Amino acid sequence: MIRSLIRPAVGPAAATLVAVVGLAAAPGTALAQEGAADARRDSSAAERSPAPWPSALAGPDSRTWTVRPDGPISAVSAAVDSARPGDTVRVLPGRYRERVVVDRPVTLIGVDRPVLDAGGRGHVIEASAALEVRGFELRDTGTNPDEEHAGVMVRDARARIVDNVLADVYYGVYLKNSQASVVRGNRITGKPLPPPRRGDGIRLWYSSGTEIVDNTITRTRDVVVFFSDRLSIRENLIRDGRYGLHYMYSNNNHFERNRFVGNQVGSFIMYSTDITLEDNLFAESGGASGLGLGLKDADSIRAVGNLFVENEAGVYLDNSPRGRDVQNHFERNVFFENDAGLRTLPSVTGNVFRDNDFVSNHRAVEVTGGVGENQAAQNDWRGNYWSDYAGFDRDGDGVGDTPYVYSKLSEDLMTEHPPLRLFSYSPVVPVVETVSRFFPFLKPRPLVVDSAPKLVRGAFRRWEREPPVARPAPSATEPRSTRTDAAAGILLLASAAGAVGAARTLGSRP
């Protein structure tokens, strides 16, 4: 169930083949529940339809201009040039091969998803005045890194970018000094370039008070937030990029119910304070770093109810918090099947861990760069669940009778001699741990001492039963889905045929 939150386990083609062998989604099964969840999300999405653009943009004398390929006005740029401040440009279906420059407050409304195609040159829409863009497909920007070509580029003005498809774009939405803007319900797909050469799906630069909500961002470099405070970033899916979120010098921001999947780094927050991360999914971060969430010089961070699954490291801490008498709080998070649940530098102190579940990680906690003499006491651990805890609960209060102590000689050796990590998954490791228990002089220094370990994984069960983020629905537009589904179906059919053949063979034997 947890893995179904990351990528669809069974797509349309495979589901058909599964039904053939009698494994279709019956009422009450996981597949049926996922379908019902999809329907609920569609309903809730309709309820969350964005409010109209503030009436201040349109005056009492505002006018609507209509653009259609065979009409008297056949170019969007012509309508914008004719419009007065506060007017609306309504664009009917068609493909418009042009770039649009907006220098006065206007609303651009697409009817049945008209296409604005920049032809591989420049921005699709470039604005220096208040702007709403709704209902378009914007595609094929230029790729000049100095000019930062974008699907929508807005400078020094408020913007509302809602319900658009941005495809084959270098940068998706780029807001420079665009306070109190809204970017909602867009699907953004980058250029087919190596990750370092791509542009950013969304970039905020001095754009405080902005909302980034319910966007799907695929195959871009990063989502970047610099010098932007009081943000609400929620319910977005950011996948298959470099940094899901690349974040600096931005304070008092809230991240809720986002999914960061298959990026090299899920999120990295630097030089910022007073950040809340709640009910987010950080999954499948791979590559050289492979961090679900990284914090560097970050103060007053509150991470609550998040799921870190199948990352190289679930959370990475570097000089966080940096201030004296400041704490970061990690509460009710799930660290599941990561190579390292938590990775930290030896000098990190001032973090509080309460009611988190550490489940089936290869290493629950890892310290890089050497283990301090009093490493376990530098951070506050209490009331967490540890799947490798071997203690008892004689009084039945749900808390272990003895402290949980995480200390491994192999981890000590690998920290002091990093090349030894080559043997992390080898049979040598359990041998080393066994030997250390019989020779006191080899006793490793503890990395964690949890004085009241819990025996029930409450946070994990919450994510299993009522996950706060949506499960991904199988999509026919994903390039690998058809082949993957077909392969899965063929394997299932082959397995079923093999099982039937074996049963017949056994039944025919005397």
pLDDT tens digits along 439-487? 454 556 778 999 999 999 999 999 999 999 987 765 444 443 333 344 3
Task: Sketch the domain layout of the chain as residue ranges.
Answer: 3-45+471-501, 63-228, 255-407+445-470
For the chain, first and last CA: distance in Å? 43
> Can you give the pLDDT at residue 324?
86
Res 337: pLDDT: 96
Instruction: Report d(CA 473, CA 34) in Å as an integer.
Output: 8
Average pLDDT value for residue range 73-94: 97
The structure tokens 């505002």 sit at 62
Average the pLDDT over 110-119 and give the result: 98
Number of H helices, E strands in the chain: 7, 41
Q: Note the pLDDT of residue 406.
A: 84
Q: Is the pTM of this model over 0.85?
A: no
The answer on pLDDT for 185 being more than 80 is yes
Mean pLDDT of 332-337: 98
> Across the chain, what does the average pLDDT equal?
82
Taking a C-beta distance cutoff of 8 angstroms, is the pair 331, 304 a contact? yes
CATH of domain 63-228: 2.160.20.10
Rounded average pLDDT over 205-212: 98
- Tokens at 383, concatenated: 């009331």
DSSP 51: P
Residue-level pLDDT at 424: 57
345-392 pLDDT, tens digit per residue, is 988 999 999 999 999 999 999 888 766 666 667 899 999 999 999 999
pLDDT digits (tens, 9 = 90+) for 18-64: 232 232 333 333 333 333 343 333 333 333 333 445 444 666 778 99
Pairing of strands 211-213, 95-96: unpaired
Regarding predicted confidence, which is higher, 220 or 9?
A: 220
Distance CA 112, CA 23 (A): 38
418, 356 contact by CB (below 8 A): no
Q: What is the mean pLDDT of residues 139-148?
A: 96
Residue 417 has pLDDT above 60, yes or no: no
Q: Which has the higher per-residue pLDDT, 327 or 50?
A: 327
Q: 109 near 134, Cβ under 8 Å?
A: yes
Q: Is the pLDDT of residue 276 over 70?
A: yes
pLDDT interval class at 289 (50, 70, 90)? confident
